[in-house]
Amino acid sequence: MVASSFDVGRLEEFPRVTFAHTPTPIEEMKNLSRRVGGARLFVKRDDCTGLAFGGNKVRQLEYYFGEALARSADTVLITGAVQSNFVRVAAAAARKSGLECHVQLEERVSDVDPIYRSSGNVLLDRLLGATISSYPEGEDEAGADRRLSEIADELAARGRSPYVIPLGPGHASLGALGYVRAAREIVEQIAAQQLEIDEVVVASGSGQTHAGLLFGLRALGSQVRVTGVCVRRSADEQTLRIRRHCDSIASLLDVATPVADADILLLDGFLAPAYGVPGPSAIDALERAARDEGLLLDPVYTAKAMAGCLDRARVESGGRLLFVHTGGQPALFAYEGLLTGFSD
């Protein structure tokens, strides 16, 4: 992974609040590597970013809260799935910043166990004192954003100063800047550890982590393959989303995009049966990571991404792959009923 100059454009001009414990480590997964044959597997531990169990959303929220505080907001609003990691970390970031937080939980997963609605991230949202509302449609991003804006208007009418963190496309990809910055961190670590990486594998959901990493690596001159593992929508749909995020990043930074269409690589073979429901390959990857590496994944994002990473390692025998662990472990406790079948 060779880097040249890093054309970040206006990156340092954006207000940012430092929440994340960085740099997060890069570790070799020797036991999993032996399981897949000739490939060498590494993990970027962005589950260790610190704030409220960490995860990739901590880096993203540094920019949203930077803007919120610059606007003198006193309340932050965010929408996401019932077991949303983004919502949980936003609630913690709000408390750390002295702000109130209103979270809207969307019904994206059907036929859930009652514990899904009370444990995991939901328990933490309540512990953090967030005001919680619900939105009935799980696949209506525009509607969820619209309802959040209505709540913000209601708060403003009562004299509050709200700041909305949007969900759907059509908004500036501000959170992706956290992973443009993370790309530089990864390249510096790889150089310091004298590693060579052929491919980066990451869960691709909202797309801001995937797009930010890809944009940052290409801006650094690195042509390493970046593979996104779809966790919410098909590869065709997600490709358009990543393209829009990359173009939005370029617009924010006032630079030409370094990302070509051919750079956007996605796997959707591990998405089934649905968002928030892990299939057999994801459950197997979750167990293998725990039993082989003591590495805890989550059922929604990183288990599916790890399944994709292990598949890529088998295809690219002899390759060197870096798995980006985006966190989400609190959701394990909300999926207890699904995960009770592990053998002793």
Which residues are known catalytic residues? 84
CA proximity to 75, closest of 20, 152, 129, 149: 152
**100 has which bridge partners?**
75
Residue 286 has φ and ψ, to the nearest 5°, of -60, -45
Q: Which tokens go with 17?
A: 């609040």
Q: Please state, in angstroms and rounded to a whole number, the distance separating the CA atoms of residues 148 and 215.
A: 29
Instruction: Tell me: cis bond preceding 273? Omega within 30 of 0 counts.
Output: yes
Residue 100's H or E segment, with its range, is strand 100-106
- What is each CA distance from 58 to 54, 64, 143, 285, 294, in whole angstroms? 6, 10, 25, 24, 23
Distance CA 172, CA 170 (A): 7
Q: Residue 170 CB: number of other CB atoms within 10 A? A: 10
8 Å CB contact between 8 and 219: yes
Which of 38, 43, 49, 270 has the alpha carbon at shortest distance from 178?
49
Q: 131: number of CA atoms within 13 Å, CB side? A: 11
